[in-house]
Every structure is written in C-alpha cells, then in structure tokens.
Amino acid sequence: MPFFDALFYLLTPLPFVLVFLGVALGIVVGSIPGLTTTMLITLTLPLTFFMDSVNAIMLLVGMYVGGVSGSQISATLLRMPGTPSSIMTTFDGYPMTQQGRAARALGLGITASFVGGMISFLVLALLAPPFSRLAITFGPWEYFTMVLMALVMLSSLSQGSLLKGLIAACLGMLIHMPGIDPSSGMPRLTFGVDAFEGGLSLLPVLIGAFAISQIIKDIINIDVRPPKADLAEGRMLLSLGDCRRHSGNFLRSSLIGTWIGILPGIGSNIASMLSYSAARSASKEPEKFGTGHEPGVVAAETANNAAVGGALIPLITLGIPGSVVDAILIGALIIHNLEPGPLLFINAPEVAYGVIAAYLVGNLIMFVIMMLAVRHIAKVLYVPRAFLLTSILVFCVIGIFAVGNSFFDVWVMLALGLLGFVMERAKMPLGPFVIGFVLAPIAEEHLRSGLMSTGGSLEPLFTRPFAASFLAISIASLCWPAISTWLRKRRAGGKVAQG
C-alpha cells in the first residue's frame, strides 16, 4: 500500500521533524495578524529547493495545516484573524474571551480543527486515488476547460467583484507570457531584454505579490498594537459529553468544508462562512450566534480546516489549485521537477501519498502542539514588529537571490510587491492573479495541443462530456452574479407589490 509506505517514511526522524517544524511554524505565523500562511510558505519555498522533494512537500503541507489552525488564536483572543479563514471564528470566539471563557473557546476551536482535518483526511485518502485514475483519461480540452473553470470560479466567488477578479486573472496570465514560447521555442514578448527570455519565475512573483505587499501594509499600520488578552486558567480538553453534543455540527461542517475545498478556487474562508450559516440555520437558538455561542466556533473552525484537505484533492489529482496556498504548493512541485496532475500518482507516488500522509500526521501534531502550548504561543502576538518586518525583508531579498543567483528576480519581486500593494488598495483580489500566473502555461499548452489535434476546430469543447460540463459550469459561474441580482430585485419587487 503506497499510502502506508509514505506514512512509515514520514514517521522516520527527518520527515517527522520537518512536518513537526512546519506545523509549529505554521501555528506561530498563522497566529500573528499581518503574517499569513501564504507568506510563510512562499518564504520557505526557496529553502526547500535544497531538500528532497518528498520532505519539502511534507514540510509545506505541515505549514498549511498549522497556519489555518493557528489563525484562530488571534481571532479568539484579539478579534484579529491571523488569516481570512478565521474571520467567522471572531464572531463567537472573541465574545467568549470577553466573557472569561478564552480557554474554552480555544479548546473548542482546536478540537474542531482536528476533527475537521481528520474527516477531511478520510475523504482525501478515499477520493484522491480514484479521482486521479479518472483524470488520466482527460485530454487537452478537459484540462483547458478545467483551468478556465477554476479561474472563473475563483474570480466570481473568492472575494470582491467578478470584474476585478477576472481582470486580476487576465493580468496574472499575461505576466506569464514573456519568455520562450513553449511550442515554437522562439522568444516571445521579451522586448529585447535578455533577462525576460527565461520568463518571470514563480517565486519572485509569489513573494512579491504576497509577502512584500503585506509588509508595506504592515509598515503603514505599524502602530496598531494588539490589546493584551487574558488567557485565563481553564480546561481546554473537551469532555466526551461535549464531543457528543457537537457531533452533528462537527460532521456537517466537515463535509461542507471538504466539499467547498474540492471546488477550484474557493478558499477556507468561504467554507467557514457557509458552515457558520448552516449551523445557525440548523440551530434551535440562532439568535445566540455572534454572542459567544459554542456551535459558532465549532462550525467555523471545523470547516476551515476541512477545506484544506478538500483543496488537496484537486491539487494532487488534477494539478488544479483549490486555493492560493495550493497554487504555491503546485509551484513547489514544479520547482522540484514534478508534474502536478494525475500522473503524479504514477510518476511520483511517494509525493502524492506523502501529501496525504503529511496531512494526517500534520493534523495530529497540530492538535498536540495547540493543546499543550497554545498559552505560550499566544505570547508571539506581541513580538515587536520592527524586528519582525526587517527580518522578513532581508529573508525575501536574500532568499530570492539565492534561488536563481540573479538580481533580476529580486527586482521582479520588488516590482510585483508594489503591484500587489496597489491591487489591494484598489480592492482587486490577489488570488486570481497568482492562480492565473500558475495556470497560464497549463491553459495555453492544452489549448494549443487541442487545436493541433483537431486542425483548429473547437468542436470537442461541446462534444466531449467533461469538457462541455466544465465549460457550462464556467459560463454559469460568470452569469450567476447577474442572475442572482435579477432574482433579488424581482423578489424585492414582488414584496413591494404585495405590500
């Protein structure tokens, strides 16, 4: 069984230490508002260049699990979510802290994260291999339409306006265009600059867009200091009765989170929002949500962790990112000369199953670390920002230089940092931009090879069942905002007429 081979390998000293380190770092960084899991993983990527590919991917998956779980600490204690995935946790976690029940809120959140992760792991382990076998039958048209679907869904559902999301996706794809044309081998859009012939590398774009732009924002708000939170003594471990009471919520939120995670481009923040809404709708006391109600914390934290496992399914089976962090993990696979997609299970099963094993062990480690050390971890919320931001800037510059031994990449990173900052000021989402950048070569390669195979005909888009379905979902995602607005107006008009 390749999964158990990967699991036993993970339990040997070096991989285990790496996953442990990844989870611990993820928790610490995820808990600090202003530092994100995305930033941690992008900054770690240059270092993984020197590691074995399996160990590198395991380390990054550990960070992913730790980061999503760690963000609940600041969300609960300070009402400042470490990452957007914990926004919903603030609604009930922070009121619980104000009521002197911070330890209880964190205990609930940690257990919920663990349960969500474990249920999601089961879905990941059961679905990923058959998904990859199905995906092997996909041709260029299926891949092209799947990339299209991922970009459109991400643009329409991630955050903000569909228009800005689509522009961001186009910009990300365009930024990938300069370099050597993959089909003809001729330079394209280099404008006579030799350095452009290699194209823009993934790492400078990622670190610029996420780390540098975030640092600029943090410097502008450097005087915003988190209030001192009192993490009073209290029992964190839930009793069996507590677990039984929340079991329905655990299961429902895990399934919602996993399903949302599987859908391309929708992150764990949407998963926690939907799960929170579902828990409130199903509750006999919906009015208590938002006032320090325990099921609110459970729903939000279960779903956001479950979404991580769900998002890993399209990542390892199709090479399609479920979220921005997944796009970076795809970048990590590419950096290690691995081809993300269904062939990963055939060409590098140790990596594909390593991701699944690292997700399982990462969740177990996260539960232990958080339960034992969350009171100490909470102290990092107050690390002086001047030292932290300066260190990150040095790591960004030297890390990017180290990967390509080139200052061109460093300048690209700084330029993309400024672009990312301006995009965020204009409320343009960075997710579609980065995912567009990652998916552009896949989309172009498959479109061109598809057209070559049909002599220029687009007919397979409509005659191949999966391609037609993906295309239909893309069109529906594009039209949905307009349709929902029309339906809302019609309902509102109907109510006025009745009134």
What is the per-residue binding string for other proteins in 350-389, x denoting contact by CB under 8 A?
A: -----------------------------------xxx-x
Q: What per-residue string of b and e applies to 22-59 under the rule 16 or more CB within 10 Å gives b?
A: bbbbbbbbbbbbbbbbbbbbbbbbbebeebebbbbbbb
Which of 2, 164, 336, 350 is in the footprint of other proteins by CB under 8 A? 164
Q: State the DSSP code for 229.
A: P
* Candidate ranges 19-27, 131-139, 181-189, 280-288; the one touching other proteins (CB under 8 A): 181-189
Give the contacts of 225 (CB within 8 A, at least 6 positions apart). Answer: none
Rounded to a whole number of angstroms, the minimum distance from the CB of residue 158 to other proteins is 14
Give the contacts of 384 (CB within 8 A, at least 6 positions apart). Answer: none
Rounded to a whole number of angstroms, the minimum distance from the CB of residue 185 to other proteins is 10
Residues 388-427 that bind other proteins (CB under 8 A): 389-391, 393-395, 397-398, 401-402, 405, 407, 410-411, 414, 418, 422-423, 425-427
Rounded to a whole number of angstroms, the minimum distance from the CB of residue 291 to other proteins is 26
456 binds other proteins per the rule CB under 8 A: yes
Residues 133-162 that bind other proteins (CB under 8 A): 161-162
Which of 188, 245, 336, 375 is in the footprint of other proteins by CB under 8 A? 188
Cβ closest to other proteins, residue 406 vs residue 469: 406
189 binds other proteins per the rule CB under 8 A: yes
Alpha-carbon torsion angle 328, 152, 150, 409, nearest 10: -20
Q: State the DSSP code for 186.
A: -
* Measured distance CA(219)–CA(222) in Å, rounded: 5
Q: Are 421 and 149 a contacting pair, CB within 8 Å?
A: no
Q: Are 301 and 82 a contacting pair, CB within 8 Å?
A: no
Residues 8-47 that bind other proteins (CB under 8 A): 47
Q: Are 166 and 436 a contacting pair, CB within 8 Å?
A: no
Length, in residues, of the chain:
499
Pick the closest to residue 183 from 431, 428, 384, 448 (CA basis): 448
Q: State the DSSP code for 82.
A: S
50 binds other proteins per the rule CB under 8 A: yes
444 binds other proteins per the rule CB under 8 A: yes
* Measured distance CA(423)–CA(72) in Å, rounded: 27
Q: How many residues bind other proteins (CB under 8 A)?
A: 60
Q: Which residues pair with 180 in a beta bridge?
A: 187
Cβ closest to other proteins, residue 248 vs residue 493: 493
452 binds other proteins per the rule CB under 8 A: yes
* Measured distance CA(10)–CA(18) in Å, rounded: 9
Point out which residues bind other proteins (CB under 8 A): 47, 50, 161-164, 166-167, 170-171, 173-174, 177, 181, 183-184, 186, 188-189, 191, 216, 219-225, 385-387, 389-391, 393-395, 397-398, 401-402, 405, 407, 410-411, 414, 418, 422-423, 425-428, 444, 447-448, 451-452, 455-456
